């Protein structure tokens, strides 16, 4: 083989090798992986608590008895986005005079004992259905709304509705307000 041929063959082989490297026929793909400690993600916890001051007793026809109802947004103190409106969604009454009782909820100042002037209540007869009532404005975590819950015997109550014991069960709801 002549020297010229040998040089030409060497040059062609070198170009093919360089061309292969430039066009990417040789590839090294590196990989690695690592474990990452998982972190706990907790969703918010919106909850409410409610307490009534005293039972309503000795109702007279047409007269209202009252009790103070305190509803608390019991979300944790640091839960800045768990602001809510509080609602009295329903009242169930059991007892012999249930169909003759009327109920109203009136917002009052915290700490009030439901005496003195208050805005005129919207009376509802739970036995005929209940229209939900918003209690106060928007509450933040650990804030309270105080409501005067008034109960009266309806004017059309028969005489046998007197002297009866009736139980009220309140359905309360907290509705989160978007931040």
The pLDDT value recorded for residue 53 is 80
Distance CA 84, CA 63 (A): 34
The pLDDT value recorded for residue 177 is 87
Per-residue pLDDT of 116-159, as tens digits, reads: 555 667 889 999 999 998 888 888 889 888 888 888 888 888 88
Domains of the chain: 48-176 (2.60.40)
DSSP string for 83-139 = -EEEEEEEEEEESTTGGGEEEEEEEE-TT--S-S--PPP--B-GGG----EEEEEEE
Residues 6+ apart with CB under 8 A from 48: 71, 72, 73, 74, 84, 86, 172, 173, 174
The pLDDT value recorded for residue 149 is 87
The pLDDT value recorded for residue 8 is 46
Per-residue pLDDT of 60-73, as tens digits, reads: 777 788 888 888 98
CA-to-CA dists, residue 72 to 30, 56, 91, 107, angstroms:
58, 21, 18, 14
| Range in 18-22, 64-68, 169-173 the model is least confident about | 18-22
What is the value of pTM for the model shown? 0.67
When pLDDT is averaged across residues 78-87 and rounded to a whole number, the result is 84
| Range in 20-24, 64-68, 161-165 the model is least confident about | 20-24
């Amino acid at each position: 083989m002549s020297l010229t041929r040998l040089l030409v063959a060497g040059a062609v082989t070198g170009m093919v090798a360089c061309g292969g490297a430039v066009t990417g026929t040789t590839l090294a793909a590196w990989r690695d992986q690592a474990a990452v400690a998982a972190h706990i993600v907790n969703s918010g916890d919106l909850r409410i608590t409610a307490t009534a001051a005293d039972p309503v007793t000795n109702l007279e026809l047409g007269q209202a008895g009252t009790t103070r109802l305190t509803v608390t947004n019991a979300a944790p103190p640091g839960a800045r986005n768990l602001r809510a409106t509080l609602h009295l969604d329903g009242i169930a009454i059991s007892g012999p005079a249930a169909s003759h009782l009327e109920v109203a909820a009136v917002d009052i100042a915290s700490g009030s004992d439901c005496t003195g002037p208050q805005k005129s209540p919207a009376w509802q007869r739970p036995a005929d259905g209940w229209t939900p009532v918003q209690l106060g404005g928007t509450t933040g975590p650990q804030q309270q709304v105080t409501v005067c819950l008034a109960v009266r015997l309806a004017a059309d109550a028969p005489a046998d509705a007197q002297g009866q014991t009736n139980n009220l069960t309140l359905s309360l709801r907290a509705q989160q307000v978007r931040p």
